[in-house]
């Protein structure tokens, strides 16, 4: 379908191969054909990237905010002009339908543009002190070299959400995208370089994470790690950050509940739920997954949901008729197949899908799958599926729905559907999550904070809050 895309490491403003010469091949998940070849960075490359970022920090932190802002705005503009190329690479590497890739690139443009503004709004405080002539002041300072590690499901926007606020704050960056999505992230990083960013301000490492991660975590020069990925890897990085006392931000897994109250138009909500659930084949940290539907509406909800999900077309993401692409790799496919078997065995009723689609033997495709009457004890109700699986279950009272929604250690996103303002307010207040969608599945936007509570992590990305994760606050007690 296309030639193989070759990626290089970016270290100190130069594109280069890994010191060892080793490479990694990335497959198109829809065809299993090689699509990208990237260097496999090791300890030496990582050390060089950290040193380049550290050297660049000395002058970048002093670059006036208006200049940082101008460079970020230019990077956003370049990304917008190259969006079709980036979206296409994204679809080839991670399989999502091209319209969703375009939307992801647009979200990245908006995020960078937003932080171009925030770079100029890093306000300190000035208060009168306790004695005449005394003042108390705060000023914000960049934390230093930042390592940005991200997952593959939204490779471009997840890196943009870290690189943009870090640069706006005056930090320098060593980023490492997931293996899948590497080529698309390289195109993003190129926009920063082409915008005129000084050498070493953004560096990119590619390849499997172990040596990169260990070198970063051991380094005293790296003062902050921002991670997006699974809870187990997040927990490992939290533990590893202790020795060098790094600042950390964790955007981890989710298992979003959806509470459908009794007063809604059930057909409309079921249709919206299908679009929300099967976006990116359900491989979304905020994917709606546990559908708690008021008992009076539940059967109608299932019927409409299944009818709508049956219409979805699976295929290659570059085909504009495709609604759902493949899973990311064979490992995810095996995980989902086992989870579906376990969910059946745990007593849930399979009403749609449940296997690989007939006649699609190449690529990691899995049918949109719907389970009804799923017991809360089922493995899929407790463990993040991260795939095209909807789990539906009835509830009888508000208190019951909330207790079940909050029963897991996850706390990223939740959704509720109701026409009652009072019920919406009560539901928002009762949910233990960082994000609540009311009558919508849109959980992220450049101007508002994104992140979780409990095991879903801490720290926020996007919004005016996002930049604070990259700033230290200094208190000056001034007596004149």
Active site amino acids? 251, 285
Binding range to ligand NAD, per CB under 6 A, among 4-12, 247-255, 311-319, 363-371: 247-255
Question: CB nearest ligand NAD: which residue?
Answer: 229
341, containing H or E segment: helix 330-345
Structural contact between residues 141 and 123, judged by C-beta atoms closer than 8 angstroms: no
Structural contact between residues 12 and 199, judged by C-beta atoms closer than 8 angstroms: yes
Minimum Å gap between C-beta 123 and ligand NAD is: 27
Structural contact between residues 94 and 155, judged by C-beta atoms closer than 8 angstroms: yes
Binding mask 365-394 for ligand NAD (x = CB under 6 A): -------------------x-x--------
Binding range to ligand NAD, per CB under 6 A, among 109-117, 229-237, 264-272, 335-343: 229-237
| 213 forms part of the interface with ligand NAD (CB under 6 A) | yes
List beta partners, residue 126.
Answer: 137
Question: According to CB under 6 A, which one of 230, 244, 439, 465 is a site residue for ligand NAD?
Answer: 230
Please provide the DSSP assignment of 291-332 as one string: EEEEHHHHHHHHHHHHHHHHT--B--TTSTT-SB---SSHHH
CA distance 162 to 169: 11
Minimum Å gap between C-beta 268 and ligand NAD is: 27
Question: According to CB under 6 A, which one of 12, 65, 209, 449 is a site residue for ligand NAD?
Answer: 209
Q: For the chain, how big is the Rg over CA atoms in Å? A: 23
Question: According to CB under 6 A, which one of 15, 136, 236, 458 is a site residue for ligand NAD?
Answer: 236
> Toward ligand NAD, which CB reaches closer, 52 or 285?
285
**Nearest by Cα to 203 from 180, 246, 171, 238:** 171
Minimum Å gap between C-beta 190 and ligand NAD is: 20
Contacts 24+ apart (CB under 8 A), 426-432: 426/398, 427/259, 427/261, 427/398, 427/402, 430/402, 430/406, 431/257, 431/402, 431/405, 431/406, 432/406
Minimum Å gap between C-beta 155 and ligand NAD is: 9
Minimum Å gap between C-beta 408 and ligand NAD is: 13
Question: According to CB under 6 A, which one of 182, 203, 228, 418 is a site residue for ligand NAD?
Answer: 228
Please provide the DSSP assignment of 130-187 as one string: SSTTEEEEEEEEE--EEEEE--SSSHHHHHHHHHHHHHHHT-EEEEE--STTHHHHHH
CA distance 387 to 333: 9
Q: At what angle do helices 98-118 and 155-169 cross, to 10 degrees?
A: 10
| 215 forms part of the interface with ligand NAD (CB under 6 A) | no
Total residues at interface with ligand NAD (CB under 6 A): 22
> Toward ligand NAD, which CB reaches closer, 209 or 449?
209
Q: What's the half-sphere exposure (Cβ side, CA atoms, 13 Å) at 174?
A: 33
> Toward ligand NAD, which CB reaches closer, 112 or 185?
185
Binding range to ligand NAD, per CB under 6 A, among 3-11, 41-49, 194-202, 246-254: 246-254
**What letter does residue 396 receive in the DSSP assignment?**
-
Binding mask 172-191 for ligand NAD (x = CB under 6 A): ------x-------------
> Toward ligand NAD, which CB reaches closer, 139 or 230?
230
Minimum Å gap between C-beta 201 and ligand NAD is: 22
Structural contact between residues 165 and 173, judged by C-beta atoms closer than 8 angstroms: no
Structural contact between residues 27 and 35, judged by C-beta atoms closer than 8 angstroms: yes
Bridging pattern class, strands 34-39 and 5-6: parallel
> Toward ligand NAD, which CB reaches closer, 65 or 449?
449
> Toward ligand NAD, which CB reaches closer, 89 or 213?
213
**Nearest by Cα to 180 from 313, 48, 331, 316:** 331
Structural contact between residues 391 and 378, judged by C-beta atoms closer than 8 angstroms: yes
| Window 415-474: residues binding ligand NAD (CB under 6 A) | 452
Structural contact between residues 311 and 341, judged by C-beta atoms closer than 8 angstroms: no
Binding mask 248-277 for ligand NAD (x = CB under 6 A): ---xxxx-----------------------
> Toward ligand NAD, which CB reaches closer, 49 or 71?
49
| Window 86-105: residues binding ligand NAD (CB under 6 A) | none
> Toward ligand NAD, which CB reaches closer, 178 or 272?
178
Question: According to CB under 6 A, which one of 10, 71, 285, 318 is a site residue for ligand NAD?
Answer: 285
Minimum Å gap between C-beta 46 and ligand NAD is: 11
Burial of 301 (0-12, 13-18, 19+ CB in 10 A): buried
> Toward ligand NAD, which CB reaches closer, 93 or 308?
93
| Window 131-160: residues binding ligand NAD (CB under 6 A) | 149, 151-153
Summarize as ranges the residues that interact with ligand NAD (CB under 6 A): 149, 151-153, 178, 209, 213, 228-230, 233, 236-237, 251-254, 285, 384, 386, 412, 452
């Amino acid at each position: 379908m296309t030639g193989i895309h070759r990626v290089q490491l970016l270290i100190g403003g130069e594109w280069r191969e890994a010191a060892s010469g080793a490479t990694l091949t990335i497959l198109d998940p829809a065809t299993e054909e090689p699509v990208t070849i990237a260097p496999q960075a090791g300890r030496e490359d990582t050390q060089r990237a950290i040193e380049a970022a550290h050297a660049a920090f000395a002058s970048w932190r002093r670059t006036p905010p208006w200049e940082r802002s101008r460079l970020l705005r230019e990077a956003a503009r370049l990304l917008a002009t190259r969006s079709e190329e980036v979206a296409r690479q994204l679809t080839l590497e991670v399989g999502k339908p091209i319209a969703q890739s375009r939307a992801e690139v647009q979200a990245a443009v908006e995020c960078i543009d937003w932080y171009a503004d925030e770079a100029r709004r890093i306000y300190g405080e000035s208060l009168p002190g306790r004695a005449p002539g005394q003042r108390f002041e705060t000023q914000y300072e960049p934390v230093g070299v930042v390592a940005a590690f991200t997952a593959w499901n939204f490779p471009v926007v997840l890196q943009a959400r870290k690189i943009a606020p870090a640069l706006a704050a005056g930090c320098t960056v060593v980023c490492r995208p997931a293996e899948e999505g590497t080529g698309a992230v390289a195109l993003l990083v190129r926009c920063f370089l082409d915008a005129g960013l000084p050498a070493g301000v953004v560096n990119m490492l590619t390849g499997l994470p172990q040596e990169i991660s260990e070198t970063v975590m051991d380094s005293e020069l790296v003062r902050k790690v921002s991670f997006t990925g699974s809870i187990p890897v997040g927990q490992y990085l939290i533990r590893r950050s202790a020795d060098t006392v790094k600042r950390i931000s964790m955007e981890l897994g989710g298992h979003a509940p959806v509470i459908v109250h009794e007063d809604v138009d059930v057909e409309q909500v079921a249709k919206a739920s299908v679009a929300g659930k099967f976006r990116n084949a359900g491989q979304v940290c905020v994917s709606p997954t546990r559908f708690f539907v008021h008992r009076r509406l539940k059967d109608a909800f299932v019927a409409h949901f299944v009818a709508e999900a049956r219409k979805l077309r699976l295929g290659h993401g570059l085909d504009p008729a495709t609604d759902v692409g493949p899973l990311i790799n064979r490992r995810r496919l095996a995980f989902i197949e086992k989870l579906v078997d376990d969910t059946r065995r745990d007593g849930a009723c399979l009403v749609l899908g449940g296997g690989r689609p007939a006649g699609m033997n190449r690529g990691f495709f899995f049918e949109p799958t719907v389970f009804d009457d799923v017991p809360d004890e089922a493995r899929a109700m407790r463990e993040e599926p991260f795939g095209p699986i909807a789990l539906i279950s009835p509830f009888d009272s508000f208190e019951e729905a909330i207790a079940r929604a909050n029963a897991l250690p996850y706390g990223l996103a939740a959704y509720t559907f109701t026409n009652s303002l009072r019920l919406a307010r009560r539901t928002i207040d009762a949910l233990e999550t960082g994000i609540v969608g009311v009558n919508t599945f849109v959980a992220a936007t450049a101007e508002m904070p994104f992140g979780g509570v409990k095991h879903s992590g801490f720290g926020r990305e996007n919004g005016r809050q996002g930049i604070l994760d990259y700033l230290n606050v200094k208190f000056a007690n001034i007596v004149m």
